[in-house]
């Protein structure tokens, strides 16, 4: 009968060996305790859904400017196309030639010209400044020549006897147009005449004259819808529509030039 082996107890380690060939090894180093960092729950402040970042507000304002500019382009196009249709179908003679020239000159070319540098202009906002300047003086040269010629034709026809509100405003627009074109040449070569007048003052004066001419010219156009020439060729409802479109175009077109004029006045106040 085989003898039962007695268990061997090691003194160096508390492990009972029953004769197995597997040896127990101690870890080379003691196991260090590890800690897990428990983060406290974060508290988030309540944010209103109506709160917009400055970038979002600026983007919405730009979209509004683009929309209003598109609306303005529609008003300008409608007035120009209808007046061209009304005058061309009866022949460009006398008052018809006068009405067509001032509409093309002031309501179209000048309106588009004063909006060239406006950042909200959907037609030219991506153009470089040099390109905008070139288009600006081309449009205003065409607008000034057409508008002044149309006003001069009517003044010669009337013998410079202007008693109505439409006639007096038209004569004022004619004078301002000539002054604005002269100041435009000076502003175009502002770097060469900077010894006489600083470029900032030169361009500010030109902007003021050009904007004043545009406002007076479109106001004259508004009163032109009350003349016998237009009343005899259109219905009352259409006269009201043309007045509304012209005033809308005047207000929307004036925003860009007024903004630029205000910025130039601020720069002048800082320098002086």
Token look-up 């004063």 returns: 114
Say if CB 218 and CB 250 are below 8 A apart: yes
What's the pLDDT tens digit per position in 190-219? 778 778 888 888 889 999 999 999 999 999
> Is the confidence at residue 80, as pLDDT, over 90?
yes
Q: What is the mean predicted confidence (pLDDT) over 227-236?
A: 90
121 three-class SS: coil
Closest CA to 203 of 226, 186, 181: 186
Least confident of 92-106, 186-200, 236-250: 186-200
* pLDDT over 90 percentage in the chain: 49
**Where along the chain do its domains lie?**
71-271
Please check the confidence at residue 161 and state whether its pLDDT lies above 60. yes
pLDDT on residue 24: 45
**Does 16 score more than 90 pLDDT?**
no
Task: Determine the CATH number of domain 71-271.
Answer: 1.20.120.1770
């Amino acid at each position: 009968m085989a003898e039962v082996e007695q268990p061997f107890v090691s003194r160096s380690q508390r492990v009972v060996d029953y004769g197995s060939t597997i040896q127990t090894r101690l870890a080379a180093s003691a196991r260090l305790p590890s800690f897990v960092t428990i983060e406290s729950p974060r508290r988030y402040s309540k944010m209103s859904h109506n709160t917009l970042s400055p970038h979002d507000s600026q983007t919405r304002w730009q979209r509004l400017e683009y929309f209003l500019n598109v609306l303005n382009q529609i008003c300008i196009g409608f007035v120009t196309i209808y007046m061209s249709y009304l005058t061309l179908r009866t022949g460009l003679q006398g008052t018809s030639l006068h009405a067509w020239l001032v509409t093309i000159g002031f309501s179209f070319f000048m309106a588009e010209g004063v909006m060239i540098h406006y950042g909200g202009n959907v037609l030219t906002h991506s153009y470089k400044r040099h390109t905008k300047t070139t288009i600006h003086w081309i449009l205003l040269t065409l607008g000034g020549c057409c508008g002044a010629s149309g006003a001069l034709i009517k003044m010669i026809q009337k013998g410079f006897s202007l008693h109505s509100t439409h006639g007096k405003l038209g004569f004022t627009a004619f004078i301002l147009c000539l002054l604005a074109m002269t100041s435009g040449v000076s502003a175009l070569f502002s770097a060469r005449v900077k010894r006489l007048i600083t470029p900032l003052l030169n361009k500010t004066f030109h902007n003021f004259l050009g904007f004043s001419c545009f406002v007076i010219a479109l106001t004259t156009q508004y009163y032109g819808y009350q003349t016998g020439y237009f009343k005899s060729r259109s219905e009352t409802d259409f006269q009201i529509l043309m007045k509304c479109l012209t005033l809308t175009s005047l207000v929307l077109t004036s925003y860009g030039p007024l903004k630029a004029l205000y910025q130039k006045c601020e720069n002048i106040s800082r320098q002086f």
